Amino acid sequence: MAFQFADLFESAVDVAPERLALVCGPARRTYAELDRRANRAAHALAALGIGPGDHVGIHGWNCVEWVEAMLGLHKIRAVPVNVNYRYVEDELAYLFDNADLRAVVVQRRFAPRVGAVRDRLALLEHVVVIEDGSGEPLEGLGHHHDFEALLADVPDARDFPVRSPDDVHIIYTGGTTGMPKGVMWRHEDLFFALAGGIDAYTNEKVRDPGELARRIADGAGPMVFATAAPLMHGAGQVGTLRALVSGDTMVLLERFDPEALWRTVAAERAQTVMVTGDAMARPLAEELVRLRDELDLSSLLVLSSTAAIFSPAIKEQLMELLPSLIIVDSVGATETGMNGIKVAERGEPHPGGPARVHASADTIVVDDALAPVAPGSGVIGRIARTGNVPLGYYKDPARSAQTFIVHDGRRYAIAGDYARVEADGQITLLGRGSIVINTGGEKVFPEEVEGVLKAHPDVFDVLVVGVPDDRWGERVTAVVAPRPGAAPTLEALAGHCRARLAAYKAPKQLVVVPEIVRAPSGKPDYPWAKRTAQAAAAGC
């Protein structure tokens, strides 16, 4: 047995086979049922010629088949690759080619997009279709397979060869800018960096691969988690894997819907809700105002956010609506794993601005010479993680060398997020360096300004970008989606910022839009915001 996700999952199955493992809509799987289905998926894919190290895409909304395919691939030591369901034809063609996909498991609703690029994908040998009732045509796919038909023709025996902690799981991430990149994780590293191998609160490590199963046997769990994070995003995949290797129950929503999520929490008696920052938390808070007297949410203990900014004002609103709720804000990146965690406290000052977290194990802030930044020095450095870090970006040695750096015999993952270390050792997060605005010789971190603006009563959502300016070099511009009925002004928002931040960080231009464009994971689309701001400036 190794720190390999199929091994860890099978250990949980053996200890608690009748526990409920997975829920998505009407579909429900116990641990034993999920294991048998994943075994069938593994045998079916192996019968198509898929083996250790082969890359297979999974393309669809959240569904139990997504998880069954992922676990099946882990069982035969193949590599699952997440496919962004928002991608259109050219983007899909790029990803399939870049990832060297030999096969794809795709929901029928997305089959026409795959069919449209099928003849451009020389390496793609097999298309497996998950029937979803959409009725979408299957033209262009060529010879293809039905997921259920494949599973019906193979055994459900667990008769697989020995696996390795060195087996690879690839997570494609688009980040906030640029083309998607495939982050290559060894299973063992991914387990310790993101999937529960290190306790986020105590920084204690799991000692051996059998420890989680022993905890289950000793009576741990099951906790019930509910998430609307998409499985095609790292947060959705890792959160689900973490639950399944720990003997817990994961409840998935097909797609994010605030009302449906609250109703699911009540119906399934979920104890933890997992979101990805403001893009999910804010509409959840707004919907909770309407539903809290209707639903029994007494089971809910924790709301946990990861992978995207979570504003203090929204945390306070949720804690006012659910006084017993504990809110946990964890930060990190696909390239680094967990970097820090913070439990929100009621009544603490929350003027907005950057988040402050307790550093996780193996996380430091380094200066340009890769020396650790001294606490309380005020020096702005970059967040770095050592220990369990990815192998690199798939087929991109140049970018890998920039992000995964060896220094004095130690390997660092440095994704480009800037931070300060405070006198008490906490880390203040400032934002991604690639989107920093240079205005009048000063650096402005957009996420810092966004956090302040989100505390203004007229602002529902906002992104901050820089646009070219003859005087300042770049002009700080706020792209704002207002609350219903609100009409925010530049004067009001700039004044709000100047009361909480240095004056040069306040927006000098305001662009009002109906909605902020974000990825399904909640990550901001800064290129869209920049184009929108530049178009508005050109029209002035």
* Residue pLDDT, tens place only, 204-255: 999 999 999 999 999 887 999 999 889 999 989 999 999 999 999 999 999 9
What is the rounded distance in angstroms from the CA atom of residue 385 to the CA atom of residue 203? 14
pLDDT (tens digit per residue) in 457-466: 999 999 999 9
Cα dihedral across residues 66, 67, 68, 72: positive or negative? positive
CATH homologous superfamily for 33-187?
Answer: ANL, N-terminal domain (3.40.50.12780)
What pTM, to 2 d.p., does this model score? 0.85
Q: Where are the domains of the chain?
A: 33-187, 276-431, 436-538
Domain 436-538 belongs in CATH node 3.30.300.30: yes
pLDDT (tens digit per residue) in 59-79: 999 999 999 999 999 999 999
* Position 307 pLDDT exceeds 70: no
Task: Please give the pLDDT value at position 343.
Answer: 86
Q: Do domains 276-431 and 436-538 have the same CATH topology?
A: no
Going by DSSP bridges, is the β-strand pair 126-130/27-30 parallel, antiparallel, or unpaired? unpaired
Q: How confident is the model at residue 179 (pLDDT cuts 50, 70, 90)?
A: confident
**Could you tell me the two tokens for 12?**
């949980």
pLDDT (tens digit per residue) in 2-38: 999 999 999 999 999 999 999 999 999 999 999 999 9
Backbone angles phi, psi at 372, to 5 degrees: -60, 135
Helices 64-75, 31-47: crossing angle, 10 deg rounding: 60
The CATH class given to the 276-431 domain equals alpha beta
Tell me if 236 sits within 8 A of 62, measured CB to CB.
yes
Return the HEC string of 227-293.
ECCCCCCHHHHHHHHHHHHCCCEEEECCCCCHHHHHHHHHHHCCCEEEECCHHHHHHHHHHHHHHCC
Burial of 139 (0-12, 13-18, 19+ CB in 10 A): exposed
* Position 352 pLDDT exceeds 60: no
Tell me if 82 sits within 8 A of 74, measured CB to CB.
no
Q: What does DSSP assign to residue 301?
A: -
CB atoms within 10 A of CB 526: 20
Tell me if 351 sits within 8 A of 373, measured CB to CB.
no
Task: Please give the pLDDT value at position 162.
Answer: 97
Tell me if 65 sits within 8 A of 147, measured CB to CB.
yes
Going by DSSP bridges, is the β-strand pair 126-130/101-107 parallel, antiparallel, or unpaired? parallel
